[in-house]
Structure 1
């Protein structure tokens, strides 16, 4: 059953895995204000990342987090660690040359394990998976953009741009892997904004994706931030995902959540239960000025740092495609316009 809320937005009784879609999900600021009072969640605070000079110990897994490098990796000094995580937007538009340059960068990194997800800027990844609005593709890359991409992929003899990534890279797309004994789950999806890659409508649409996160996950990797943590843009508005916030707070409670997407929100935060790392390398002007974030998590008993196992995940085709047919963006369909005027 659905009804109009006091602000005119659609409320829903949709409950999934015990998580209810918030009536103000399309206005993250209001939703977060309400959740902070109703749920009495612990307040997050900003903390410092581990310095590059701190030794890596045998009983801890050193995780190095980066995101939103936007083809600026040639200027990036990545500290040593056991696991390198990239939380998406490693290109500007997902061009094959950009993807290959990123693959070359990964190949030079000494970390035992590299875990990668795509982001909304990886248009070619989204297009090949069936989750990028063709109108966006044409607007950004021109009317011949799709044909040019297909031709380049044919020349490279690949069916999907992820095939360009080094073979030892763990690529997650609504899927899980166990790395150094830590259970990880990653997804490229973000709340809808102008039909970029992997955009889903706020509310029950995107909650379907977060339902795929196993409850025993140690490290969650998403491109989008949750609402309320590392998601404030320059105007002060919050633009993170409400349903991701409640999923992590109420059901999953991971040790670490790595994300990016909102460049202004860079930093490491904690609420006493979960570490939240907005690892955006680039600032709002796409300058790579933010250092990688380093975190130590305890090595689980019975595992070694060599262990890695990739597991099956939720198929992209299980995610509804209704949003791709919509003719207007979310801010024109009942959303709080001020919450969505942010730069990608």
Structure 2
């Protein structure tokens, strides 16, 4: 299966230079700029014009309508499978999607580090093949530049949960624009990690979709 990954398009999806074809397109959240239902409908129209046989969408912290007006928002998504602490099996592979990120100001789908996020990650089925979260695990493609230097801001509890997912082949996320890229970790059991942020830290939609096969 060829998987095409994007994230953090912030309503600039039309500015993506080229979306490669594949069996499955995954959008790992922050698809919207202002979090409005109008923007979500525009995104869904765009998704409908892409050739991929399967498409998965999760929300991110900017996608406020998906939390505040959840029922209406989910009805607007007609051209992708919307996952929110839920899963789907496609061509024999099991996918799980979750929008939660560590609390930062008052964004959507925020939860406190510790017990709140731990509980969210415990919902991930142990037989998950591909995990989609909006935010990264601690220490993997999660570095931001602050006034104090470089800081890894991913979630510790998410990182810990990954070691329990014995079938995991790939983990796709975004959220940290400066962490864009892909890495493979593990020796006996290799896992591909993808930070698919399309927008840079300056919110320019100049990063390319990331493609891999499982």
How do residues 12-51 of structure 1 correspond to structure 2 at under 5 angstroms?
none
SS of the equivalent of 1:290 reads coil
Write the distance in 2 (CA, Å) between the matches of 1:75 and 1:222. 23
How do residues 1-344 of structure 1 correspond to structure 2 at under 5 angstroms?
61-76=1-16, 77-129=18-70, 159-166=71-78, 168-235=79-146, 236-248=150-162, 250-253=163-166, 254-272=168-186, 273-297=190-214
TM-score under structure 1 normalisation?
0.59
The structure whose residues are more often strand, as a share, is 2
Write the distance in 1 (CA, Å) between the matches of 2:34 and 2:74. 14
1:100 Cα deviation after fit: 1.2
The structure whose residues are more often helix, as a share, is 1
Residue-by-residue CA offset, 1:26-72 (whole Å, 9 max, x unaligned) = xxxxxxxxxxxxxxxxxxxxxxxxxxxxxxxxxxx000000000001
Residue-by-residue CA offset, 1:230-283 (whole Å, 9 max, x unaligned) = 1001231011000000100x2014100000000000000111321000000000
Aligned residues: CA RMSD = 1.0
Q: Is the 8 A contact 1:93 1:124 kept in 2?
A: no
**Rg comparison, structure with higher value:** 1
Write the distance in 2 (CA, Å) between the matches of 1:185 and 1:94. 23
Write the distance in 1 (CA, Å) between the matches of 2:158 and 2:69. 25
Unaligned runs of 5+ in 1: 1-60, 130-158, 298-344
Residue-by-residue CA offset, 1:188-218 (whole Å, 9 max, x unaligned) = 1101111210000001110100000011100
Task: Give the corresponding residue for 1:331.
Answer: none
TM-score under structure 2 normalisation?
0.94
1:160 Cα deviation after fit: 1.5
1:93 Cα deviation after fit: 2.2
Aligned residues, how many? 206
1:222 Cα deviation after fit: 0.2
Write the distance in 1 (CA, Å) between the matches of 2:92 and 2:102. 30
Residue-by-residue CA offset, 1:63-102 (whole Å, 9 max, x unaligned) = 0000000001111110010000000000012112211110
Task: Give the corresponding residue for 1:316.
Answer: none
SS of the equivalent of 1:252 reads coil
Unaligned runs of 5+ in 2: none
Write the distance in 1 (CA, Å) between the matches of 2:39 and 2:74. 12
